[in-house]
Each structure stands twice: as structure tokens, then as C-alpha cells.
Structure 1
Amino acid sequence: MSERQASAGGPVRYEVDTALARITLDRPAASNAIDLPTAESFAAAVARAAADETVRAVLLTGAGRRFCAGGDLAAMAAAADRGAYVHALASTLDLGLRALADLPKPVVAAVQGAAAGAGLAAVLSADVAVAGRSAKFAAAYTAVGLTPDCGFSRLLPRAVGQPRALHLTLTRRSLSAAEALEWGLVAEVVDDDELTARAEALAAELAAGPVRALGEAKRLLRGSWHQSPQEVAEDEARTIAALVTGPEASERIDAFLSGSPWSPAPRATASRDCARSRAR
């Protein structure tokens, strides 16, 4: 059974094409709002991507017109015990998003329509986000009398700074795609009809790259927030020393020095010329 068939019919689709896993929030009629079954399915999909050694990159998308409207308010309101339900929902989705951020593989998010609340937390949990030009971004929590969840309180200030994070969270402001790019919420903005192709191309490019180096670089950057400068430096030194003897680095360094077509040969030549000049 193919991955597409195996994941058909649920609130989250999981598909693998060669080395690229696609995780799609698949509740378009509900603007991909996340209820507890969706959070559980999402966490399971991320776990599958982590366990599959053939997967080298992940593309996170939302079906339909909107990426993700955040938590499903209708499901919250219908719960017999609203507090217990929301606690389970926030905790489950947080586990899935942290697992996404911790994946030792690059993650690209393609954002169309709107990303609000937990949907914005999902964007911030990806490594590279590409937005369609008409996309909108909002915190949305306080507008319905709620507070951030799913790591939003940690992720947003680190992406945009504390003053902007407070402004976006405490007011009902939404950001355009261009503003999200200026603020640092997304890495690229493209025309809406180019979003899928650009995000897929970027994810495929990363999947074809040195996956161990990409995963370790991601880990170093994300982990640096929790470490002292000395701990960061020591972790960096251990990691680069371990990678330099591995096949990914050995092949690429040899190709770089030999001037292979994919490597920046002129820069390598210039570096060697400078080294000769210093030697003289």
C-alpha cells in the first residue's frame, strides 16, 4: 500500500515522494482548524517522517484556501469538559510541533490564505516558510478571550522580537505576507499561483542536500537559545569535527577543491591564490 493510500481519509495526509515527505492538514471545510484527532494525526505524521530513513526533507501544507485557522473553536465549545479538552489539545499539538522543530531533517512550510494562532505556531516550527502573496498572519488568541499555546509564547518573540510579538498578540492586528516577510515570520513571498511549485522546489533542493549537515545545523541554531556561549562553541566544535570525517563532507570538500561544476570553483581558486600569496 502506498503512503497516499495509507493516510487517505484522515484529518492529516501523509505522503512520500522519493525523499520528500508531505504532511498536509486536510480539513479544508474547517479552514484546517485543529481539533484533537487532527493534533493526534499530525503528531503521528511527524513521527513517521522522523522514523523513515528514506525521508530527507518535509513539506508542510494545508489543503484548500487557508493554511490553518488555529485551534477548532467549535470542537472546544462542544466538549463536555472544555478545560480538559483544550489542555489535551494544546499538549498534543505542542508535542507534534516540537517534534517537527526537532526533526533532524529540514522542514519547509507553504502558507496560503491564513495562518492564525496555532497555525502560526506551526509556521514558526518549520525551518523555512514560503508564503503566497495574499496570505495573512495573526495571533488571534486574545480576540476570542484565549491565550497562546503550542510554544507560541517562545517562538514568536524569537522570530520578531518582544515588542512586535506583544503588539501582534495583544491587538487584533493581522500581517500581510509582505509584512510577515519584513518581520521575519517567513523567508520568501511568491505569487499565489507559484506557491506550491516554489515550496516543492525548495523542499526538493533541501532533500537533495547533505541531510546530516542540514539536520545538525538546524539543531545547533535552535538549541543555541538554551545554551551559554561556551556551550554553543563546544557543541559547534564537536559537531563540525564529527562531520568533517563523514562521507557527506568528504565528498563535497573534495569536489569543492577539485572545482566540480556544482561547487563555487572561482571562489575556491581565489582562496588558493590568497593562500599562495600569504605563503610567499
Structure 2
Amino acid sequence: MNRPDATVRYEVDGALARITLDRPAASNAIDLPTAEALAASVARAADDEAVRAVLLTGAGRRFCAGGDLAAMAAAPDRGTYVHTLASTLDRALRALADLPKPVVVAVQGAAAGAGLAAVLSADVAVATRSATFAAAYTAVGLTPDCGFSRLLPRAVGQPRALYLTLTGRRLTATEALEWGVVAEVVEDDELTTRVEALATDLAAGPVQALGEAKRLLRASWHRSPQEVADDEARTIAGLVTGPEASGRIDAFLSR
């Protein structure tokens, strides 16, 4: 059950878990309780064997405006608060990226700073045509956190990552699609229908194969070609005799 004052809602419908950032009045800006609640929600999805896919959304007009600057300013010890917030949110987003289940994120309005990091931590991002994306950190005299400086270059390349971070330039949804930040752009009134269908389809898929494929792709960044090849061979050999692959291979051959 979600508390009435919860800033992150966690709901399960069949094999699909929905995680919703629920601070619409604050553009879903992330304060420490929200970061902690997000980490707890991701952990719940990881621990629930019935959950086979996750859909991450933001309530209201904007997906996520990033870290909560008002909470930072109000903290008695700003440095300690921001360090704890950044560390907690990093843990939540790394857990989301490492989740052995597909993660779809729906983006409307703005995704800025840590909100953009959350988008990049998901596996498949779908945005409305009116959505915008920005680093936003340097505009308020701050630097990237929660894995942003690792995630953004991997998505768009180092030159573009530096450009976006240093200039603070906002990307349109079309640009975000062209640059590799999102996988799909839909009309504003089609977002919910599209992400629900996509997440439901993934939840009905071969969860072990999807989870291992996700792991292989994400791990490849920091491995040698031989390490990648060895892991790929070991993983596919382990799956080919399992019930998930055996049933699907038999069905394919009997067409």
C-alpha cells in the first residue's frame, strides 16, 4: 500500500510494476524522501518474481525537474544534505539500470538534471512531442550527479554531452530522438496508451532472455571484446536449454 503522503507511488498490475514520481506541484523534483522512496520501489520490483517489467512515469504536466532546489536551500547543512541526496538517488538509478527486467519510461513536459538521468537509466524511453530535455546543472552553479556524467556521454557521445552540459541547451523531443536520448516520440495524447502497450508487451516476453540481454549490453561498456564474447557465449549456452528458450524455439520451428 502507498501512504497518502507518498511522493513515489508503487503499483503492480499483473506482471507490470508502475513506479510514479508523485510530486506534481513541485514538477516531481526529487528531495531526499523521494530519492529514498524511489530506491525502495525499485527494490520491490526487483524482489517480486511476479513483476516482469517496470513502467516509470511522472505525475502531472512534467516528468521530473531534477533535484529539489528548495529542499537543498532549506537544509541546515547544504553540503551534507546534497551529498546524501546525490548518493541515494545514484543508488536508486543504478538499481533501475541493473534491474534484470525491462524498464520503460514515459516522458512528458520537462526532464532536467536528475530527471534526465532517470530517463537515461531506463531501457526504453518514450517522449511526447512537446517534451524537452536539459542538463540544467550549471545554470544554478552545480555539477552533474547521480551518474549523469556517465550516462549522458554513453547516450549521445562525449562532444554532445559536453555541449549540453556546459551550455545548458534544451533538446526538443525530436532532437532527443535523433541524438539517442529517447527511443520513440509520440503525440502528447498518445503517451499513456503507447507506454502501457509497450510495457505490457515486454512483461509478456521472455523475461530471462530480456534481462540477460539488458545485462550484456550495459556491461559491454567497461569490458574488453574478449570478455564480452565470453559472457555472450556463456549466457546464450545457458539459456538455450532452459524452458523459456526451448518452448519458443520449438514453436518457431513448428510454424
User: Same fold, TM exceeding 0.5?
Assistant: yes
* Counterpart among 141, 146, 157 of residue 142 in structure 2: 146
Aligned partners of 1:7, 1:217: CA distance in 2, in Å?
A: 35
Residue number in structure 1 paired with 2:126: 130
Tell me whether 1:169 sits opposite 2:159 in the alignment: no
Tell me if 1:65 matches 2:61.
yes
- The aligned runs of 1:190-209 (5 Å cut-off) are 190-209=186-205
Counterparts of 2:116 and 2:4 in 1: how far apart (Å)? 25
CA distance in 2, matches of 1:227, 1:161: 18
Q: What SS is found at the alignment partner of 2:217?
A: helix
What count of residue pairs does the alignment treat as equivalent? 255
Q: Deviation of residue 8 (structure 1)?
A: 4.2
Greater RCO (Cα-Cα under 8 Å, separation 6 or more): 2
**Matched letter for residue 25 of structure 1:** L
For residues 88-114 of structure 1, the C-alpha deviation after alignment (integer angstroms, 9 at most, x for no partner) is 000000000000000000000000000
One-letter identity of the residue aligned with 2:134? A
Give distance in 1, aligned partners of 2:12 and 2:133. Answer: 28
Alignment partner of 2:18: what SS? Answer: strand
For 2:78, give the aligned amino acid: R
TM-score in terms of structure 1 length: 0.90
Give me the identity figure in percent.
85
Determine which structure has more spread, i.e. the larger CA radius of gyration: 1
Residues 133 and 177, structure 1, Cα contact 8 Å, conserved in 2? yes
* One-letter code aligned to 2:46: A
Tell me how far 1:226 sits from its aligned partner.
1.3
Paired residue for 1:228, among 219, 224, 227?
Answer: 224
Q: Does the 8 Å CA contact 1:7/1:14 hold for their aligned counterparts?
A: no
Superposed counterparts of 1:1-280, under 5 Å? 5-259=1-255
RMSD: 0.6
- 1:146/1:168 Cα in 2 relative to 1: closer, same or farther (>3 Å)? same
Aligned to 2:62, the other structure's residue is in SS state coil
Q: Structure 1 47/22 Cα, relative in aligned 2: closer, same or farther at 3 Å?
A: same
| CA 8–19 in structure 1, closer or farther in 2 if over 3 Å, else same | farther
TM-score normalised over the length of structure 2? 0.99
Measured after TM superposition, the shift of residue 7 of structure 1 is: 4.8
SS in 2 for 1:41: helix
Classify 1:46/1:7 alpha carbon distance in 2 versus 1 (closer, same or farther; 3 Å).
farther
Aligned partner letter, 2:57: T
* Residue identity matched to 2:54: V
Instruction: Tell me the distance in 2 between the aligned counterparts of 1:142 and 1:169.
Output: 7
Does structure 2 retain, via aligned residues, the 8 Å contact 1:117–1:140? yes
Amino acid at match of 1:170: L
One-letter amino acid matched to 2:29: A
Give the letter for the 1:121 counterpart: A
- Residue by residue, what CA displacement relative to the aligned partner does 1:225-259 show, whole Å, maximum 9, x if unpaired? 11111000000000000000001100010011111
Amino acid at match of 2:141: G
Contiguous gaps of at least 5 residues in structure 1:
260-280
Give distance in 2, aligned partners of 1:236 and 1:103: 18
1:205-242, Cα deviation, whole Å (9 max, x unpaired): 00000000000000000000111110000000000000
Matches of 2:127 and 2:40, distance apart in 1:
25
Q: Tell me, in whole angstroms, the C-alpha distance in 1 between the residues paired with 2:107 and 2:243.
A: 35
Residues 120-141 of structure 1 show CA distances to partners (whole Å, capped at 9, x for unaligned) of 0000000000001100000000
